[in-house]
């Protein structure tokens, strides 16, 4: 897919379906532009994609989105990407209020919170939902606790591809949830959506694999698919226990980065960036630090990976600024400034990689005996 004149088209140039909505822009100016800073993820809380699209095209809805993605991965655009859609409502992020004017909105077709009916009793407006399609979890803000529909893999894959394209095309600063910008008022996209993993993959250009997430447990005590670093030479096994055989690619070297999901009896299900997958003893994993760098000199941070791209607000970065590496492209690196620079926070853009010095964080516990 690609974007042409703020409309989404397929690689062969065929436009994706477009359903116009009056719920856009500002009063008196339906073409009021949007400032491209963030991408906000939602769920529709509707019975189907077509039902939600019809509603968002209705003036009585008073709401819309730039994109609706069905459970089958089908995309419908409703507002061009350069025009405000009414997806955020009352909201605030990083000191900015009413994010309709500062963000792009994607709606994922989904039922939303299902309440506390329990196994075998999950329903949405009378429609029964199999237990296999429901996750029982607590929202990250502590409530509600109950059933949340799983997002189909096809829907997640399409959403990630589009999110990465939007981030790259418009230089978006971050990918966030509706619940992040309207805490207490909104719950979407909810705990069945791996917001942290999705954000990381989208900001990295879609390079990281996206899987149907294993959500947090119902008590909300542990994140899904967190990133860890191996503390010592470590065997990866076919199951959660030392009696299980090792898998191809085992053992992992100290310092290897892994994505860890489900935990069972002191073991974590892990996948390396090289594709080695299995179970590892959790005691030999530690939370991975971000890929941090220090700016070695006053440095322009730009909207794209070339000296011809305009500097972004907050540029130039003072020497000594700490940044997190997000994406590499040739001799350039896309970075997020940690904290504030020049009085601005949330700065994201491209810098010449030769002016960055690694901020080294040593692996702890090197030299411990390997798990056997």
Among residues 98, 83, 106, 18, the alpha carbon closest in space to that of 57 is found at 18
Sheet of 67-69: strands edge to edge?
Answer: 75-77, 67-69, 103-108, 38-43, 174-177
SS3 state at 148: strand
Model confidence at 312, pLDDT cuts 50, 70, 90, reads confident
**Cβ count within 10 A of residue 80:** 19
Q: Which residue has the higher pLDDT, 34 or 240?
A: 34
Among residues 106, 116, 108, 105, the alpha carbon closest in space to that of 144 is found at 116
Among residues 289, 301, 368, 364, the alpha carbon closest in space to that of 334 is found at 301
**Which residues, other chains included, contact 312 with Cβ-Cβ below 8 Å and sequence gap of 6+?**
171, 301, 302, 303, 347, 348, 349
Q: What is the mean pLDDT of residues 240-262?
A: 83
Partners of 176 in the β-ladder: 40
pLDDT tens per residue across span 194-226: 887 788 778 877 544 444 444 444 433 333 456
The pLDDT assigned to 217 comes to: 42
**Above 50 in pLDDT, residue 14?**
yes
The pLDDT assigned to 169 comes to: 95
CA–CA separation, 48 vs 76, rounded Å? 13
The pLDDT assigned to 161 comes to: 92
pLDDT tens per residue across span 129-140: 999 899 888 887
Residue carrying the six token digits 């100016």: 29
**Rounded to 5 degrees, what are φ and ψ at 49?**
-65, -45
Q: Is the full-model pTM beyond 0.75?
A: no
The pLDDT assigned to 206 comes to: 59
The pLDDT assigned to 288 comes to: 66
Mean pLDDT is lowest, of 14-28, 195-209, 354-368, for 354-368
CA–CA separation, 282 vs 4, rounded Å? 47
pLDDT tens per residue across span 257-309: 787 777 787 888 888 766 678 889 988 887 765 567 888 899 999 988 888 88
Percent of the chain with pLDDT over 70: 87
Would you call 145 exposed, middle or buried from its count of C-beta atoms within 10 A (0-12, 13-18, 19+)? middle
Cβ atoms of 81 and 163 closer than 8 Å? no
The pLDDT assigned to 346 comes to: 67
Indicate the angle between helix axes 195-203 and 153-170, nearest 10 degrees. Answer: 40
N-terminal to C-terminal alpha carbon distance within the chain: 46
Q: What is the mean pLDDT of the chain?
A: 84
**Which residues, other chains included, contact 185 with Cβ-Cβ below 8 Å and sequence gap of 6+?**
89, 90
Query: What are the chain's domains?
Result: 2-112+147-203 (3.40.80.10), 226-287 (2.30.30.40), 292-358 (2.30.30.40)
Q: What is the 3 state secondary structure string of 240-295?
A: CCCCCCECCCCCECCCCEEEEEEEECCEEEEEECCCCEEEEEHHHEEECCCCEEEE
| Helix ranges (DSSP H) in the chain | 49-56, 153-170, 178-181, 195-203
**Above 80 in pLDDT, residue 340?**
no
Q: Which residue has the higher pLDDT, 315 or 262?
A: 315
CA 330 to chain centre: 24
The pLDDT assigned to 290 comes to: 59
């Amino acid at each position: 897919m690609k974007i042409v004149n703020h409309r989404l088209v397929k690689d062969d140039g065929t436009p994706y379906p477009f359903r116009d909505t009056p719920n856009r822009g500002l009063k008196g100016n339906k073409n009021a532009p949007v400032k491209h800073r963030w991408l906000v993820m939602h769920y529709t809380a509707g019975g189907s994609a077509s039902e939600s699209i019809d509603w968002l095209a209705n003036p009585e809805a008073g709401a819309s989105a730039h994109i609706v993605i069905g459970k089958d991965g089908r995309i419908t655009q409703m507002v061009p990407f350069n025009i405000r859609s009414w997806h955020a409502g009352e909201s605030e992020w990083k000191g900015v209020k009413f994010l309709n004017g500062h963000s792009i909105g994607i709606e994922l077709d989904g039922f939303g919170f299902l309440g506390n009916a329990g196994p075998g009793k999950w329903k949405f407006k009378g429609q029964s939902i199999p237990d296999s399609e429901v996750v029982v979890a607590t929202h990250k803000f502590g409530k509600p606790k109950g059933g949340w529909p799983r997002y189909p893999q096809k829907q997640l894959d399409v959403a990630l591809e589009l999110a990465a394209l939007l981030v790259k095309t418009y230089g978006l600063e971050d990918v966030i949830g509706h619940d992040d910008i309207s805490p207490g008022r909104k719950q979407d996209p909810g705990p069945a959506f791996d917001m942290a993993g999705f954000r990381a993959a989208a900001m990295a250009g879609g390079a990281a694999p996206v899987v149907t997430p294993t959500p947090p447990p119902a008590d909300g005590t542990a994140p899904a698919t967190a990133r860890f670093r191996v503390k010592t030479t470590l065997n990866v096994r076919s199951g959660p226990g030392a009696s299980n055989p090792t898998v191809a690619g085992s053992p992992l070297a100290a310092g290897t980065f892994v994505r860890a999901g489900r935990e069972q009896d002191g073991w974590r299900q892990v996948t390396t960036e090289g594709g080695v997958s299995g179970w590892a003893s959790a005691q030999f994993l530690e939370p991975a630090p971000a890929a941090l760098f220090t700016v070695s000199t006053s440095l322009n941070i730009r909207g794209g990976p070339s000296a011809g791209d305009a500097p972004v607000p907050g540029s130039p970065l003072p020497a000594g600024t700490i940044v997190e590496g997000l994406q590499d492209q040739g001799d350039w690196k896309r970075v997020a400034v940690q904290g504030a620079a020049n009085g601005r926070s949330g700065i994201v853009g491209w810098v010449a990689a030769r002016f960055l010095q690694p901020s080294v964080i040593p692996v702890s516990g090197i030299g411990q005996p390997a798990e056997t």
